[in-house]
Amino acid sequence: MDEMAGQDGQDGQDGQDGRDGQERQDRLPSAELKAILEALIFASPEPLTPKQMYKVLGTEPKEDVQAALAELRKESEQRTGGIQLVEVAGGFQIVTRPDLHEWVRHLFHERTTQRLTQQGLETLAVIAYRQPITSLEIAEVRGVSAASGVLNTLLERHLIKIVGRKQVVGRPFLYGTTKEFLMRFGLNDLSDLPKVEDMAEALGIDAPILVEQTLPEEMLPLDED
């Protein structure tokens, strides 16, 4: 009986080892997994999030995907070519190096008229630092009338969006920044925004107007309709 039990135990162990070995064989080699990840990130029209990576590579252990991604990031940091892997808007994207942007603009013949005006940049900065905010509040912050054309331009370029209405008379729209805003300025999330003082100095405006202020209680909550 002991001999049979020993044999059964050995058979069970052999079977388990066989299954483990098969699982290990089924896993993609590290180099291939890294190549697949790089292709997915390059082909994705938007930053590819880890959640999307896990979904596409559903048969691969998450730790393998994470290891391959970490290796890709390390290689990107050491690369001296014209592209790089960056973490932006909650995902990963392959982009051209910032110092080469002027050359890339030549390729697409970007016109200076396509750039945001000073008024547009100031308005976008106020929204970014004090969102959610209404057009009237933007005007009060900037000390000048909020031109609807500027807001429309920012909306058309998908840099801002309407995030709700304020519970006050007239129920004015509330504006906030978008994922496109994060991508455009190379930010992973809003916590990556430059210091208020640095942004104000770059735009030539007073720093206090960018500082978020607590809204009066009667103006809350937001209505997401």
pLDDT tens sequence for the chain (225 residues)? 555 555 555 555 555 554 444 444 578 888 889 899 999 988 888 888 999 999 999 889 999 999 999 999 888 888 888 888 888 888 898 888 777 777 776 666 554 446 778 788 888 988 988 889 998 888 887 766 656 678 888 998 889 999 888 888 878 889 999 988 888 887 888 888 888 777 766 666 655 555 544 444 444 444 444
Residue 76: the pLDDT is 85
* Same fold flag, 2-99 and 116-219: yes
Half-sphere exposure in the Cβ direction for 48 (13 Å, CA): 21
Residue 220: the pLDDT is 40
Residues 6+ apart with CB under 8 A from 184: 159
Residue 19: the pLDDT is 47
The domain segmentation of the chain, as residue ranges, is 2-99, 116-219
Residue 219: the pLDDT is 40
Q: How big is the CA angle at 216 (ends 215 and 218), to the nearest 5 degrees? A: 125
**Integer Rg of the chain from CA:** 26
pTM, whole model, 2 decimals? Answer: 0.53
Which CATH architecture fits 2-99? Orthogonal Bundle (1.10)
Which CATH architecture fits 116-219? Orthogonal Bundle (1.10)
Residue 64: the pLDDT is 92
Q: Annotate 31-58 with b (16+ C-beta within 10 A) or e (fewer).
A: eebbebbbeebeebeebbeeebbeeebe
For residue 132, whether the previous peptide bond is cis, meaning omega lies within 30 degrees of 0, is yes
Residue 200: the pLDDT is 67
Residue 25: the pLDDT is 55
